[in-house]
Structure 1
Amino acid sequence: MAPPILERYVAAMVLSGVGDAMGYKNGSWEFCQSGIDIHQEAKKLGGIEKLKIELPDWMVSDDTVLHLATAEAYMETKDTKDKETLYRNIAEKYKKGMHDMDGRAPGRTTMNSCHMLNPLQEKGYEIPFNPRGGGCGAAMRAMCIGLRYPKPENLSDLIADGIESGRMTHHLPKGFLGSLAAALFTSYAIQNKPVEQWGAGLMDTLPLARTYIKESGRAVNENLKEWGYFENAWKNYLEIRNITSGKTLPKFPSDYGIEARDKFYESVSSSGWGGANGHDAPMIAYDALLGSGDSWIEICKRGILHYGDNDSTGVMAGCWFGAMYGFLGVPDNHHKKLEYRKRLEEAGKKLYELAHKGKEHQSSNIPCQKEGNDETEVCNDSSQKSPLSAHDQGISEESSQTNEIKGTITDIVEGGTSESKDSEQVDKAEPVEVSVDSSKQTTNQDTEKKITEKVQTNV
């Protein structure tokens, strides 16, 4: 039997912190340039299962601090339909979060943007359009929005809050659409929507988000001009995984080990640092979820312990796993002594209460979205279907029948994805305020320093 929804809410928040802290490892794993090295070090520590995620060695990064900031703004806003008050509260929490960044490697774009926020003034949460605001800093803190708005009928609120909270710091579609994706996928997890359908659901939602941007009247022309990058990147990814329609199983290469994943994650990034941007951080977390099923350890291997911005992919992958499976298979030593665990647990409980007022914990029914945005059915939590575990599925006869797969599943050649043509001018502007030593002068001594600076700049 699947865990009750309340447990899934708590697990979503707590495991988001675990994914963050595990990937970050006080900075040493986030800025490590080899997934192989990370996995070898984890093995020396006793294996993934034995990792003790607790202070002082496993502090949470800026991702969890700001994810909590978003969640606690919802908890402290009496009426979240009052968007002016809600957004000013979110902005205030983000500014306060900047006082808890010692040792947590906050991104420069986030810090600079938070400095501009003025929550005491009307519309003080709005910042100008930023052609360099495409980092993952908006996406990494938005999952809880999907916990607040888990039902298909909540979609308009989820779109508005996902976009507006995102562009408080990352006012570029490549950045704030990552926030929307992170929130949307969390809502899908609570809905029990099959994971292979999430990407198609995102593509169905993007036109609605575009309409919202037009109607908002803020930097409309600038945003629409840069809209194509995020959309095209996701179209390419869904084609590679053969899940454009949401009606087929994902395809993975026959060899998709640590090195192959590192190369693929790098290939879908625009910065060469997988997960550092608003489009690829949720994409990599989603890719990990597609291949892991209900295995927490597999999620750790694929979505957290990789070369790139792994705390930001980990914070999302951990949240989505918890939202589907609760604490299934998660060792106690991964979460019992996690920094800020009590705050994360309380946030999960409060978000549940806000989303499901008047419903009992153990018997809540969630409308489950099927293909298309208007068709729903009630999904009882006790009959939740486990998403497919693509890494060990092979080409089973049962899965072929249930997912209507036609023909033979062929391997995808690694590195087959390519960034869209219209992304080039965005990419050129993407590294924010990076000094001359981030050019093609690459000595062994300063490579790590440069990558660290580059990633912190873009987040």
Structure 2
Amino acid sequence: MEETVPSVEAYEAAMVLSGVGDALGYRGGCWEYCTSGPQIHAELAELGGLAAITLEPPEWPVSDDTVLHLATAEGLATGLEGEPLLQELARRYVAAMGDMEGRKPGPTSILVQVSTCLGAADTDPGYLGALAVALFGALGARGEPPERWGAELLRVLPLAWDYVEGTGVAVEDNAAAWPFFGEAWHRYLDSRGLLEGRGPAQVPSLPSPAERDTVYLGWALEGWAGRSGHDAPMVALEALLAAGGCWEDLCGRAVLHGGDNDSTGTIAAGCWGLQGGLTSVPSGLHCRLEHRERLRNVAHQLHVLAWGRR
């Protein structure tokens, strides 16, 4: 089978829309910390809907999610590998903490930066959420439909465990917490008929924000959907499967819910960009987005790094 090379425009849309999902879900902290999807949708209606919004500071800044996403992307774009890459990422994460005014980074974000800089091991496999998102992005870039992503994640998890075991670092701690992630994803994929990676997905319609809040809470830890490594990509994938080709529906499901919606919005909107581009997205949502040029520039750099100049 001939390799599918994603366009640089797909990379650009993915990076820009990840910022859009973040800024929209965050709304300066107003919507990120609102636990009611119906309330968020009511307030959106008062604003005139998605097409009436222009995402730009001060009302619509990006959150710490995009700042740290940029730090990671720009670090990777250097092309460094191994220990030099880890040192470069640590340096950029420290610098990113100087751009947190008004972005309300949570204690987890701060702890991640400290841990990274000290070289400490993360013994809670919440980092498997990052693995899931990276995998979904790679599959989306290659044109694989979302119906296949979860099954591929289950296939990759044992390889990730082999790596953890091979490092010999905090193996017992990881082993104690590791099964939860895979079991949660197995249950979810089984409920959607996707354990084998073949569609069609059996996704309930959940037409109302209240219904979606209830379902997402059923996957959550500590009563905040999308806050944990296992359910943030889960909410995003559910939204991608249910929304089909409708950008507005994607936002309603992945961004405008009563949970950690800037995180789930970042993931879902970024994955949407890889396959759907910017065409169906109202221009006001991305034309004045904070850090838009940085997001575009690093998208080009990552495309060259991954595929060369094609």
Distance in structure 2 (CA, Å) of the matches to 1:276 and 1:114: 17
What are the ranges of 5 or more consecutive residues in structure 1 without an aligned counterpart? 119-123, 130-170, 360-459
Q: Which residue number in structure 2 is paired with residue 440 of structure 1?
A: none
- Alignment of 1:267 with 2:225, yes or no, is no
- Alignment of 1:108 with 2:107, yes or no, is yes
- The alpha carbon displacement at 1:114 in A equals 1.9
Structure-to-structure mapping, 1:259-408, within 5 angstroms: 259-359=210-310
Greater RCO between the two (CA within 8 Å, min separation 6)? 2
Q: Which residue number in structure 2 is paired with residue 127 of structure 1?
A: 120
Amino acid aligned to 1:127: A
Distance in structure 2 (CA, Å) of the matches to 1:237 and 1:48: 30
With over 3 angstroms needed to count, the CA separation of the structure-2 counterparts of 1:255 and 1:327, relative to structure 1, is closer
SS in 2 for 1:291: helix
State which drifts further: 92-101 or 58-67. Answer: 92-101
State which drifts further: 187-196 or 291-300. Answer: 291-300
Q: Which residue number in structure 2 is paired with residue 180 of structure 1?
A: 131
- Alignment of 1:94 with 2:93, yes or no, is yes
Structure-to-structure mapping, 1:214-225, within 5 angstroms: 214-225=165-176
Amino acid aligned to 1:68: L
2:57 to 55, 59, 63: 55
- The alpha carbon displacement at 1:248 in A equals 2.5
SS in 2 for 1:59: coil
Q: Which residue number in structure 2 is paired with residue 201 of structure 1?
A: 152
- The alpha carbon displacement at 1:117 in A equals 4.0
- The alpha carbon displacement at 1:337 in A equals 0.1
- Alignment of 1:7 with 2:9, yes or no, is yes
User: For each residue in 1:3-35, what CA deviation from the matched residue of structure 2 results, as whole angstroms up to 9, or x when unmatched?
Assistant: 961100000000000000000000000111210
Do the aligned residues in 2 keep the contact of 1:95 with 1:117 (CA within 8 Å)?
A: no
Q: How much is the aligned-residue C-alpha RMSD, in angstroms?
A: 1.5
SS in 1 for 2:105: coil
What are the ranges of 5 or more consecutive residues in structure 2 without an aligned counterpart? none
Do the aligned residues in 2 keep the contact of 1:49 with 1:297 (CA within 8 Å)?
A: no
Distance in structure 1 (CA, Å) of the matches to 2:174 and 2:306: 31
Structure-to-structure mapping, 1:16-31, within 5 angstroms: 16-31=18-33
Structure-to-structure mapping, 1:377-456, within 5 angstroms: none
Structure-to-structure mapping, 1:137-152, within 5 angstroms: none
SS in 1 for 2:42: helix
With over 3 angstroms needed to count, the CA separation of the structure-2 counterparts of 1:76 and 1:23, relative to structure 1, is same
Distance in structure 2 (CA, Å) of the matches to 1:289 and 1:53: 22
Distance in structure 1 (CA, Å) of the matches to 2:206 and 2:233: 22
State which drifts further: 43-52 or 10-19. Answer: 43-52
User: For each residue in 1:112-137, what CA deviation from the matched residue of structure 2 results, as whole angstroms up to 9, or x when unmatched?
Assistant: 3423444xxxxx5x2144xxxxxxxx
SS in 1 for 2:243: coil
Give the percent of matched residue pairs that are identical in Structure 1 and Structure 2.
43
Do the aligned residues in 2 keep the contact of 1:196 with 1:243 (CA within 8 Å)?
A: yes
Amino acid aligned to 1:182: V
Do the aligned residues in 2 keep the contact of 1:177 with 1:230 (CA within 8 Å)?
A: yes
With over 3 angstroms needed to count, the CA separation of the structure-2 counterparts of 1:68 and 1:310, relative to structure 1, is same
Higher helix share: 2
SS in 2 for 1:53: coil
- The alpha carbon displacement at 1:251 in A equals 1.3
State which drifts further: 274-283 or 84-93. Answer: 84-93
- The alpha carbon displacement at 1:254 in A equals 4.8
